[in-house]
Amino acid sequence: MFEETIVAVATPPGEGGIGVIRISGPQAQAIGERILRHPSGKAITTWPERKVRLGVVLSSEQKIIDEAIFFFFRAPRSYTGEDVLEIQGHGGQKNLELILSAAMAAGARPAEPGEFTKRAFLNGRIDLAQAEAVIDLITAQTDLAHQAAQEQLSGRLSTYLRQCEERLLAVLAQIEAALDYPEDEIPDLDREEAGRTIHDVAEDLRTLAVQAEKGRILREAATVVLAGKPNVGKSSLLNRLLGEERAIVTPIPGTTRDFVAEISNLQGLPVRLVDTAGLRETSDPLEQEGVRRAWRWVERAELILVVLDAAAGLSAEEERLIEDVRGKKRMFIILNKSDLPPRLTVAGLPEKFSGLPVLTVSAFSGEGLEDLETKIREELVGKDFGRGHPVIVTSLRHKEALERAVRYLQNVTAGLRDGLSEDLLTIDLRAALEALGEITGRTVSDEVINAIFSRFCVGK
Amino acid sequence: MAQTKTYDVIVVGAGHAGCEAAYATAKMGFRTLLLTLNFSNIAFMPCNPSVGGPGKGHLVREVDALGGLIGRVTDLTHLQMRSLNTQKGPAVRALRAQVDKRRYQEIMLSIMEKEPLISLRQGEIVDLQQSKGTAASWRLQLSTGIILEAPVVILAAGTFLRGTVHIGLTTFPSGPQGQHPSISLPEKLAEMGVRFRRFKTGTSARLRRRSLNFEAMKEQPGEETPHGFSFWIPWKPRLQASCWLTYTNERTHEIIRKNLHLAPMYCGAIKGVGTRYCPAIEGKVVNFPDRPRHQVFIEPESAGTDEVYVAGLSSSLPEEIQEEFIRTVPGLEKAEIVRPGYAIEYDVVAAEQLTPYLQLKEFPGFFCAGQINGTSGYEEAAAQGIMAGINAGLYLKGKKPFLPRRDEAYIGVLLDDLITKELDEPYRIMTSFAEFRLSLRQENADLRLAEYGYRYGLLSEAEYEHFLAKKERIQQIQTTLEKTAFDPRSAAGRKVTEQTGITLQQRISLAELLQKPEVSYKMLQEVYAELPPANDEARVVENQIKYQGYLAREAKMAERLRKMEEKQIPPGFDYNEVPNLSTAAREKLTRIAPLTLGQAGRISGVGPADLSALLIWLEARMKR
Ligand SMILES: Nc1nc2c(ncn2[C@@H]2O[C@H](COP(=O)(O)OP(=O)(O)OP(=O)(O)O)[C@@H](O)[C@H]2O)c(=O)[nH]1
Ligand SMILES: [Mg+2]
């Protein structure tokens, strides 16, 4: 069905060990023949299915990039239903990028996000619900996100929505029964009570939709940017939060020239931490570029940690930075280097910053860091997230359907209040149920009829 | 050599479907034979003497709009007319008539007799052949040896096919109300390869009016200004007869519960599937044990007899038990049963063999209509009758079938449901089935369908002109409302303000004013001399103005539906080709073979994922 052969790294970025490159499409074998060799250097001519084989990967200049294990899957018995070549190389980002570019030079194009799954779906290897859940699984990089994806798969969301549907159906069935059987003894609709029910359901669905926003953060990882003057300890903090020496730290101001972005697991929440070049006026063109990029990250961030050096005090530039960012973005003020004698304390901050959250930490001793993690997590997804609410919606499609349902239900509550006739009330009530049906897969028309006849004794 | 008679169309069965079908093909210019087992029972109503109600009344109006008969005959024979749901909103307002059963039959018979192209004959079919190579492709033999031939057969045999009646544990082959069942015909059809299912329905006892005590019941008189169904004949209300309301009680239920072992539905004697729509009293007592009482309506069967119908007490318990529990009901203490209630099992054509325009897929020229397709009700039968008739006519003319969409008519909903829903009980139309309920109002049925009726030849020139003039008047009302400004300072304006409390700064039209919930057309008509009286014509305009927001929403939805209906699935399409269909969907799609993607989507078990897989596949196939 598809002419193009696609390639991508199949393991999440930023993880050590091995990395998997997946190539799918009609050219998969031809590409393999170009970029893979026996360890002896001989060309590979046979492509048995599903066999573990050892080889070396060549760059377009025929240089050996890596030693690798590879598998070949012939269509349609592969994940995507097409010819698939999987190469397991050594994990580092750089290394994988080299293999990627070799595959691209040999004729593959980079895959769009989720494209393998899309092909798998279109070629009949998986169904839509599976496809969605898998896409979420792929992007789920930490425990909590993984759990949400699992829940969606196992139908906890469906069960929860089922209860909402039932409550709506009870109201709808009563209206419909009376409309279709005007001469039977159906109790009159208690508009107030029905209004309350509908309102409650709408609230529940809205909560779910709001949670879905957090579900998105789970899936896509929120961006948290460390910004501040040179030498305040941004890179040190990044390393601390990541738990590895990722960024270079020196006592020389202006050490970080380009940004460093890395996915981190903050108490189960995936967060993209970005360390940036220290913000200052400079004539060095390289550093200027770094500062420009730092500002761009500030624009894109969901949360900004403005790092100050507590041992140094607050400069006018830093004051301006805080003024600049507040109101535009969510931010924390971080007083770093709390292990040194303080020049700047929480109390010592200017009056005008009194409303802002301030945390005192030491990248050096680790003091206050756990608290910082907790505060970041709470800021992004709330205190009870992942504990209180029974289900988490992570699919954008579901979130949209929930929001639509809520809007229709708001029309119904308004209609009930304003004395709208019952045949018109059903229009929005049904529309809401249909929106939920897009998630749960249930057909409203059948459900209503069943509800009518199971609840009311009608017909002569 | 047996004598052979040839026709264009042979309609088998002269019930509510058969009469409409024969009338339609005759009006389309085809020589039509209306064949029935018993001529005395033409257009007989074996169950309740009533026509219409929500959904059903809409169907009557639609059949009438197309030029069919049920609306006219009901108007001419009604004993009582009621408007239902008058306070529940424009979509569900519906007429319901009590009719004089005997007169209904007489009038229908006289219409059939007067129609020059309709021949009538009583006879039982003993053989049925599809003759090959000749123009007349269906060959029917009667028990008397007569041979009938026609290129088209419309089977409208109701509940007669292998009918079996149950009263208590007594069982005997029978059609409804003691009529002769049809035994050979279903056998011949089965030999031909037609597949049947077994359905079940029932009716209640008939009582002698003079044995009842009406003092103990509540009278339900007719309305002061009743309305009629038909768009085409002048409406003449007849003397309105009353119905009577009474209730069952714990004693009634006790007797029923005690005798359930004698109820064929509960002791396993009946294997056919019954309906939830008209449950027997046994079913009500069993399924709703907490209900202390159930309604019982006494309805007149005919002005010419003393027989009355007991709505709400349908039962197949033994006759003496029926008498026992009936007599516990206030007013019925001394009731004399004229005919007992009973349950009837009968063969219905398994719906997946039908196209939505009611032709058997495997047998060109063979149409089925009415209860034989698994529906219940006179109105549903009539709707299918006229549709089978029109489509048989179009088939003979070599033209495209006629199939109103779900957003055009309840008839469209009915036919679509029939083939996509896989009925597991007799189908009764309900307004809840119509997702475009607000667009499908009873008062605009002619605006939706009369054009078709005229185009196919069912409506006369005169009727069509009458329709065009009405349309013109409706447009006129609309224009007047749009052109007339509401001036709060004028005398008329002040009256409106007085009644509604509406005060307005800017000048608006009466049409805009009418959008406000407090304002009605009737109110405006009383103060604005240029507006015609608040009749059905004005109501069309009023509803269109008042509900334009909702109507626009339905129109948008209908547009989406239309797109799906336009995506045709080629006949004989192999669903095994499509990867990624669920097993259930693959099996059902193969069996039902929907004509369009729209229909496919309405089959239960075919989910959105199946639909997108199918869509992608069809598109890909088209590109190849
Ligand atoms: N005592 C102490 N020293 C710290 C702490 N955090 C960072 N430092 C030191 O401060 C210096 C600068 O640290 P970096 O992390 O490179 O600072 P930066 O903000 O990334 O600087 P640029 O990249 O130049 O913008 C290094 O010598 C660190 O060891 C801390 O919490 N306590
Ligand atoms: Mg740095």
DSSP code string of B118-185: EEEEE--EEEEEE--SSS--EEEEETTS-EEEESEEEE--TT-BT-EEEETTEEEE--GGGPPPB-HH
B314: which strand partners?
A: none
Of A137, A151, A148, nearest to A10 by C-alpha is A137
A202: which strand partners?
A: none
Q: Which domain holds residue B583?
A: 567-623
| Residue B610 neighbours by CB under 8 Å, 6+ apart | B581, B582, B585, B589
> Which uninterrupted H or E stretch holds A308?
strand A303-309
Is the CB of B613 inside 8 Å of chain A's CB atoms? yes
- A342-363: per-residue pLDDT in tens? 898 888 888 888 889 999 999 9
Q: Whose CA is nearest to atom 26 of ligand 1?
A: A251
- Please report the pLDDT score of residue A105 as a whole number: 86
Q: Is B418 exposed, middle or buried (0-12, 13-18, 19+ CB in 10 A)?
A: buried
More confident residue, B292 or A439: B292
Tracing tokens 């079938």 back to the chain, one arrives at B401
DSSP letter (8 states) at residue A353? G
Regarding whether B364 and B335 lie in a shared domain, the answer is no
Q: Is the dihedral of CA A386, A389, A395, A396 positive or negative?
A: negative
Which among A124, A128, A180 is the nearest to B54, CB-wise?
A180
Question: What amino acid occupies position B230?
Answer: S
Tell me the shortest Cα–Cα distance from B284 to chain A, in angstroms: 7
Pick from A325, A359, A381: which residue ends a domain? Answer: A381
Cα separation values, B124 from A191, A242, B40, B613, Å: 57, 90, 14, 49
Q: B558 in a domain, yes or no?
A: no
Q: Residue B473: give its domain's CATH number.
A: 1.10.10.1800
Q: For residue A181, what is the nearest residue in chain B, using CA coordinates?
A: B54
Tell whether the model's pLDDT for residue A75 goes beyond 90.
no
Q: Which domain holds residue A186?
A: 133-217+395-453
Q: For residue B290, what is the nearest residue in chain A, using CA coordinates?
A: A457
> Which uninterrupted H or E stretch holds A456?
none
Of A77, A84, A80, nearest to A118 by C-alpha is A80
B212 Rama class: left (phi>0) / alpha (psi -120 to 50) / beta: beta
CA–CA separation, A33 and B437 (whole Å): 63
Q: How many A from CA of A363 to the centre of ligand 1? A: 8
Tell whether the model's pLDDT for residue A269 goes beyond 90.
no
Cα separation values, B499 from B227, B523, B532, Å: 28, 9, 20
Let me know: does B445 contact B61? Beta carbons within 8 Å: yes
Which among B89, B294, B431 is the nearest to A424, CB-wise?
B89
Q: A458 in a domain, yes or no?
A: no
Phi and psi angles of residue B251, each rounded to the nearest 5 degrees, phi first = -65, -40
Tell whether the model's pLDDT for residue A205 goes beyond 80.
yes
Question: What amino acid occupies position A297?
Answer: W
Token readout for A19 is 């990395």
- Please report the pLDDT score of residue A160 as a whole number: 83
Of A151, A162, A270, A150, nearest to A216 by C-alpha is A270
Token readout for A343 is 């020049």
Looking from the CA of residue A229, the nearest atom of ligand 1 is: 25
Answer whether A178 sits within 8 Å of B609, measured CB to CB. no
Q: Residue A313: give its domain's CATH number.
A: 3.40.50.300
> Rounded to the nearest 10 degrees, how much is the dihedral formed by the CA atoms of B256, B259, B265, B268?
160
Pick from B408, B423, B452: which residue ends a domain? Answer: B452
- B242-285: per-residue pLDDT in tens? 999 999 999 999 999 999 999 988 877 777 666 777 789 999 99
Is the CB of A414 inside 8 Å of chain B's CB atoms? no
Regarding whether B325 and B291 lie in a shared domain, the answer is yes
CA–CA separation, B357 and B584 (whole Å): 25
Number of domains chain A is built from: 3
Which among A123, A448, A457 is the nearest to B432, CB-wise?
A448
Q: For residue A454, what is the nearest residue in chain B, using CA coordinates?
A: B287
Let me know: does B282 contact B264? Beta carbons within 8 Å: no
Regarding whether A242 and A205 lie in a shared domain, the answer is no
The whole-angstrom distance between residue B494's C-alpha and the CA centroid of its chain comes to: 47
Regarding whether A316 and A304 lie in a shared domain, the answer is yes
Pocket-testing residue among A225, A229, A235, A236, ligand 1, by greatest number of atoms within 8 A of Cβ? A236
CA–CA separation, B449 and B440 (whole Å): 11
Token readout for B36 is 């029935």
Regarding whether A230 and A273 lie in a shared domain, the answer is yes
Q: A185 in a domain, yes or no?
A: yes
> Which uninterrupted H or E stretch holds B240?
none
Q: A388 in a domain, yes or no?
A: no
Let me know: does A232 contact A312? Beta carbons within 8 Å: yes
Token readout for B603 is 């089959």
Phi and psi angles of residue B82, each rounded to the nearest 5 degrees, phi first = -130, 145
* DSSP result, B560-607: HHHHHHHSBPPTT--GGGSTT--HHHHHHHHHH--SBHHHHHHSTT--
CA–CA separation, A267 and B576 (whole Å): 48
Token readout for A252 is 């020389």
Q: A171 in a domain, yes or no?
A: yes
Tell me the shortest Cα–Cα distance from A274 to chain B, in angstroms: 39
Is the CB of A423 inside 8 Å of chain B's CB atoms? yes
Answer whether B430 sits within 8 Å of A449, measured CB to CB. yes
Of B542, B535, B592, nearest to B569 by C-alpha is B592
Regarding whether B117 and B26 lie in a shared domain, the answer is yes
- Please report the pLDDT score of residue A334 as a whole number: 96
Token readout for B339 is 């005919």
- A380-405: per-residue pLDDT in tens? 877 655 544 445 565 666 777 888 99
Q: Write the secondary structure of B408-437 as one string of H (helix), E (strand) and C (coil).
A: CCHHHHHHHHHHHCCCCCCECCCHHHCCCC
CA–CA separation, A20 and B190 (whole Å): 62
pLDDT band at A148 (very low <50, low <70, confident <90, very high): low
Which residues of chain A are within 8 Å of residue B557 when distances are taken between CB atoms?
A: none
Token readout for B525 is 């008509």
| Ligand located closest to A339 CA | 1
CA–CA separation, A176 and B104 (whole Å): 31
Answer whether A457 sits within 8 Å of B294, measured CB to CB. yes
CB-based pocket (< 6 A), ligand 1: A 230-236, 249-251, 253-256, 277-278, 336-337, 339-340, 362-364
Q: Residue A428: give its domain's CATH number.
A: 1.20.120.430
B199 Rama class: left (phi>0) / alpha (psi -120 to 50) / beta: beta
pLDDT band at A136 (very low <50, low <70, confident <90, very high): low
Tell me the shortest Cα–Cα distance from A164 to chain B, in angstroms: 21
- Please report the pLDDT score of residue A387 as a whole number: 46
Regarding whether B150 and B255 lie in a shared domain, the answer is no
Which among B84, B276, B604 is the nearest to A443, CB-wise?
B604
Q: Whose CA is nearest to atom 31 of ligand 1?
A: A337
- Please report the pLDDT score of residue A390 as a whole number: 46
Regarding whether B267 and B336 lie in a shared domain, the answer is yes
Let me know: does A174 contact A455? Beta carbons within 8 Å: yes
Tracing tokens 């931010």 back to the chain, one arrives at A331
Token readout for B614 is 């199918």
Answer whether A460 sits within 8 Å of B278, measured CB to CB. yes
| Residue B238 neighbours by CB under 8 Å, 6+ apart | B78, B79
Q: A284 in a domain, yes or no?
A: yes
- Please report the pLDDT score of residue A265 as a whole number: 77
Of A42, A41, A23, nearest to A31 by C-alpha is A23
Phi and psi angles of residue A216, each rounded to the nearest 5 degrees, phi first = -65, -40
Regarding whether B192 and B254 lie in a shared domain, the answer is no
CA–CA separation, B127 and B287 (whole Å): 44
Q: How many A from CA of A244 to the centre of ligand 2? A: 14
pLDDT band at A157 (very low <50, low <70, confident <90, very high): confident
CA–CA separation, A287 and A365 (whole Å): 29
Token readout for A79 is 């994940």
Regarding whether A400 and A369 lie in a shared domain, the answer is no
Pick from B422, B452, B482: which residue ends a domain? Answer: B452
Let me know: does B600 contact B589? Beta carbons within 8 Å: yes
Of B71, B262, B47, B79, nearest to B159 by C-alpha is B47
- Please report the pLDDT score of residue B326 as a whole number: 97
Let me know: does A148 contact A216? Beta carbons within 8 Å: no
B577: which strand partners?
A: none
Q: A119 in a domain, yes or no?
A: no
Which residues of chain A are within 8 Å of residue B435 when distances are taken between CB atoms?
A: 430, 445
Regarding whether A355 and A279 lie in a shared domain, the answer is yes
Q: Residue B284: give its domain's CATH number.
A: 2.40.30.260
Tell whether the model's pLDDT for residue A442 goes beyond 90.
no
Number of domains chain B is built from: 4
- Please report the pLDDT score of residue B100 as a whole number: 97
CA–CA separation, A23 and A29 (whole Å): 9
* DSSP result, A178-238: HHH-TTS-PPPP-HHHHHHHHHHHHHHHHHHHHHHHHHHHHHH-EEEEEEESTTSSHHHHH
Compute the count of residue pairs across chains A and B with CB atoms less than 8 Å apart: 107
Tracing tokens 């088998």 back to the chain, one arrives at B12
Q: B557 in a domain, yes or no?
A: no
Is the CB of B549 inside 8 Å of chain A's CB atoms? no
Q: Which of residues 60-89 of B touch A (CB under 8 A)?
A: 84-85, 87-89
Let me know: does A277 contact A284? Beta carbons within 8 Å: no
Beta strand B32-36 pairing with B118-122: parallel
Let me know: does A2 contact A108? Beta carbons within 8 Å: no
Q: Residue B363: give its domain's CATH number.
A: 3.50.50.60
Question: What amino acid occupies position B86?
Answer: T
Q: Whose CA is nearest to atom 32 of ligand 1?
A: A337
- A213-236: per-residue pLDDT in tens? 676 666 667 889 999 999 999 999
Beta strand B366-368 pairing with B243-247: unpaired
Pick from B403, B429, B452: which residue ends a domain? Answer: B452
Regarding whether A333 and A276 lie in a shared domain, the answer is yes
All residue ranges of chain B with pLDDT < 70 are 1-2, 133-136, 272-274, 580, 608-609, 612, 616, 619-624
